[in-house]
Amino acid sequence: MPLTSYLSRERELLAAGGVGGAATNADARRAVVPHWAGGIGGDALLYAVSALLAAGLAAVTIYHGHRVWGAVSAAAYTAGALASLAGLWPGRYRRRGGGHQRRMTIASAVFAASALVPLGMLVAQRAHGVAWSAQPEVDVVERMGRLLVQTGTPYTAVDTLARFQDYTPYLPAMAVFGLPRAELGDAGYTDVRLMFLTVSALLVALAVRLVRPPRLPVRAVHLVAVLPATTLTVATGGDDLPVLALLVLCIACCHLGRAGAGGVAGGLALAMKLTAAPVLLVLAIALHSATKTNANKTDATKTDATKTDANRTERGGRRAAVFAGSALAVAAALVLPAALVSPAALVEHVIRFPAGLTGVESPAASPLPGYLLAHSGAAGRAAGLALLAVAAIAILVWVLRWPPRSAAQAAERAAVGLVVAMLLMPATRFGYLIYPLVLAGTAIALRPTSSSYAWLRPGRAASHRIR
């Protein structure tokens, strides 16, 4: 009975006072449930739930791309769950944290089978003219590249807008991913989803290279790359991938104290989608606050500590200013040309359409509270927008009153804010869940411990503050 054996091992750790005798009994008691949830047993549970979600989507969807992804990924997640359960047999877990390589191998195989395989199938089918082999945003981004080459602006004229497919709810930098198809023609290898995935993978690899963690927590890999929110996006759409990859790189740079580089990465993300804005705001607050100290001082050291804190506060202010300035400069340089060519089109596509202020219904229509309120009449729409404004103010007060002291904490706060926004926005869909999941995974990866669930435990160390 593998689970019984595993829990028996946990009881031995409690009796011994923790791993290697280094932890207290209280620490060990706190570690039992989080470690199991963060171990290979938790992997099996995540894969099983993911398999159910994928199979459910395949059964109810009317879209060909979602059906293909659901059928393929349900089998992939089921195989991952079975492989993870096999790791719970006696002898597989010989020490706490063991089996990391096995878990990473399973996660990599599940990602390949649930994301790359359906992506290849759908790209090939689209090249042969199969309808709904890609989500509408794929055609929209490719049209952006084509219009940018032909007209100098990625937006169609306001007077030609009639269907939701005619709108382009992205900022101008997104058009760069449509340029290969505009220049090289319609072919499988110019499918914009391949551009999204390739660029995003390189950006995330660069972020990992910069941070150089001792080893990536498996749960972070799950949240960033393996769960259905990501693999479905990879296979059928993908426009959120480069935005998130740039935000991951931005957070990594801020974690290392490279405010200028972080601002450039954040500015590029902001020039693609406004979704990046709240994440950048929280990171700027974290940079400003991270160097402040509030440790208890004795009376003899208070004077020197006050001077040191003042210097650190000034340094934090400079970092925040460099970060914000570089992000805004990059975003402005990429957005202003399109705004000058056709300001009305930019506002109509990027502001009014996502806010539900046009006469055309957005395809982002998951039955979440914001969407339901927006479609319950004028009073409901007003109430929904007011609720969204109140929630935004409340989160801003929370972040300012108890500011994040590290890039990891900033990612957590931004994830919470985006979950609230996803619930309350008038045009929303379940796919937006990829943002808080990736941010949560990034926060776990930046924690100064290899335990995936260490961030749930009290008494967080200060060693992971922005350097």
Q: Which of 370, 354, 346, 338 is nearest to 164 (CA)?
A: 354
Q: Which of 245, 241, 233 is nearest to 119 (CA)?
A: 233
Whether 178 contacts 147, CB under 8 Å: no
For CA atoms 375, 376, 377, 381, give the dihedral sign.
negative
Region of poorest pLDDT, from 182-186, 224-228, 381-385: 381-385
Using DSSP's 3-state secondary structure scheme, residue 365 falls into: strand
| 35-67 per-position pLDDT tens digit | 445 688 899 999 999 999 999 999 999 899 999
Tell me phi and psi for residue 3, to 5 degrees.
-65, -40
What pLDDT is stored for residue 206 in this prediction?
Answer: 97
Is residue 271 predicted with pLDDT exceeding 90? Answer: yes
Is residue 467 predicted with pLDDT exceeding 80? Answer: no
Is residue 465 predicted with pLDDT exceeding 70? Answer: no
Is residue 290 predicted with pLDDT exceeding 90? Answer: no
The pair of three-digit structure tokens given for residue 4, joined into one six-digit string? 């019984």
What pLDDT is stored for residue 431 in this prediction?
Answer: 80
- Looking at the chain, the whole-number percentage of residues with pLDDT higher than 70 is 77
Top pLDDT among 200 and 100 is at 200
Distance of CA 174 to the CA centre of its chain: 17
Residue 364 binned pLDDT confidence (cut-offs 50, 70, 90): low
What would the mean pLDDT of 449-458 be, rounded to a whole number?
36
The residues that bridge with 365 in the sheet, in sequence order, are 428
What pLDDT is stored for residue 118 in this prediction?
Answer: 97
The pair of three-digit structure tokens given for residue 144, joined into one six-digit string? 């952006």
What would the mean pLDDT of 132-160 be, rounded to a whole number?
91
Top pLDDT among 15 and 207 is at 207
What pLDDT is stored for residue 378 in this prediction?
Answer: 75
pTM of the predicted structure, to 2 decimals: 0.83
Concatenate the DSSP letters of all residues of 281-327 into one string: HHHHHHHHHHT-------GGGHHHHHHHHHHHHHHHHHHHHHHHHHH
Q: Which of 40, 37, 19 is nearest to 99 (CA)?
A: 40
What pLDDT is stored for residue 82 in this prediction?
Answer: 95
User: H-type helices in 17-131, by residue range?
Assistant: 25-38, 40-60, 64-86, 100-111, 117-127
* Cβ contacts of 420 within 8 Å, gap of 6 or more: 391, 395
What pLDDT is stored for residue 3 in this prediction?
Answer: 45
As separate numbers, helices (DSSP H) first and strands (DSSP E) second, the chain gives 20, 0
| C-alpha distance from residue 213 to each of 142, 217, 442, 444 (Å) | 36, 9, 12, 11
